[in-house]
């Protein structure tokens, strides 16, 4: 089940993000708290008897949302596509977005497979778009989904 993060879960999500600097965009606890408390953005929790995953979404500009982080704590259990689908239903069905975009580092094989499988369109490669660590820039693959594409999935 997808739900909004509670105030008490924000430090845990921040710690999970901090523990994955090779694949997750690093976000501070304060920034996550601001996103979690916003009316049209959120830190979403995939809850299957406890925190099993999270997604961070935010309006980039009217009608367009960014999916800044999405992670499962225990990948490989067959819940990834259901989780992504729940995030899409929230973004398009509840929040009314026109477009959702995200990206994945060139070497994040799981994300590069999961996003197209969920219906995202590959838009191209963004060269040296993310500084993974000081002095190390990596390419990212851009993906997006439009409201009408989501609607066609339902």
What are the pLDDT tens digits along the chain (154 aa)? 999 888 899 998 888 888 776 666 777 788 788 888 776 778 899 998 888 899 999 988 889 999 988 988 887 777 899 999 999 999 999 999 999 999 999 999 999 999 999 999 999 999 999 888 889 999 999 999 999 999 999 7
Determine the Cα–Cα distance for residues 108 and 102; give it in Å rounded to an integer. Answer: 13
Task: Name the maximum alpha-carbon separation found in the chain.
Answer: 43
Adjacent-strand bridge partners of 67: 57
Q: pTM for this one?
A: 0.90
For the chain, list the domains and their CATH numbers. 2-153 (3.40.630.30)
Cα separations in angstroms, 154 against 7, 96, 114, 116? 32, 15, 18, 16
């Amino acid at each position: 089940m997808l739900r909004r993060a509670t105030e008490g879960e924000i430090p845990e999500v921040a710690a999970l993000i901090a523990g994955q600097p090779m694949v997750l965009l690093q976000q501070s606890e304060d920034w996550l708290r601001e996103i979690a408390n916003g009316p049209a953005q959120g830190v979403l929790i995939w809850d299957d008897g406890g925190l099993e995953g999270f997604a961070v979404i935010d309006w980039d500009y009217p009608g367009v949302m960014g999916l800044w982080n999405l992670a499962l704590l225990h990948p490989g259990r067959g819940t990834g596509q259901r989780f992504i689908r729940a995030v899409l239903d929230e973004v398009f069905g509840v929040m009314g977005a026109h477009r959702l975009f995200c990206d994945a580092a060139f070497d994040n094989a799981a994300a590069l497979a999961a996003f197209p499988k969920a219906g995202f369109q590959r838009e191209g490669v963004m060269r040296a778009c993310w500084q993974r660590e000081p002095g190390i820039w990596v390419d990212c693959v851009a993906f997006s989904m439009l409201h009408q594409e989501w609607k066609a999935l339902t």
